[in-house]
Amino acid sequence: MTSTVQRAISEHVVQRTSKGQRTADRLLDTAELLFAQKGYEATALRDIAAAANIQQPGLYKHFESKDALYRQVLQRALQPLADEMEATISRSPREASFRTLSDKLIDVLAQHPNVSMLLIRSILSPPSDRDEIGMAWVERLMDYGRRITRAAEVEPPAEDLILQIVAIFNMMFGYFWAAPLSRGLAGIDPLSPAMIERQKALLSRFIATIEQDQPDGKATAGASPE
pLDDT (tens digit, 9 = 90+) per residue, 98-107? 777 889 999 9
Do 1-64 and 74-226 agree at the fold level?
A: no
CA gap 108, 122 in Å, rounded: 20
At the topology level, CATH places domain 1-64 in: Arc Repressor Mutant, subunit A (1.10.10)
pLDDT, mean of residues 182-205: 92
| pLDDT beyond 50 at 70 | yes
Q: What's the CA gap between 161 and 155, in Å, rounded? A: 7
| Local structure of 136: helix, strand or coil | helix
Query: Between the CA of residue 49 and those of 36, 43, 61, 123, what are the distances in Å?
Result: 16, 11, 12, 27
Q: Residue 88: pLDDT above 70?
A: yes
pLDDT at 164: 86
**pLDDT tens by residue, 24-61:** 999 999 999 999 999 898 999 999 999 999 999 989 99
Q: Output the pTM of the full model.
A: 0.78
| Residues 6+ away with beta carbon under 8 Å from 189 | 183, 195
**CA contacts within 13 A on the Cβ side of 63:** 23
Per-domain boundaries in the chain: 1-64, 74-226
H helical segments located in the chain: 2-38, 45-51, 56-59, 66-89, 98-111, 115-124, 132-151, 158-177, 179-186, 193-212
Determine whether 63 is exposed, middle or buried from the number of CB atoms within 10 Å of its CB (0-12, 13-18, 19+).
buried
Residue 146 has pLDDT above 50, yes or no: yes
Q: Which fold would CATH assign to domain 74-226?
A: Tetracycline Repressor; domain 2 (1.10.357)
Q: Report the alpha-carbon distance of residue 35 to residue 44 in Å, rounded.
A: 9
The rounded distance, in Å, linking the Cα atoms of 39 and 81 is: 22
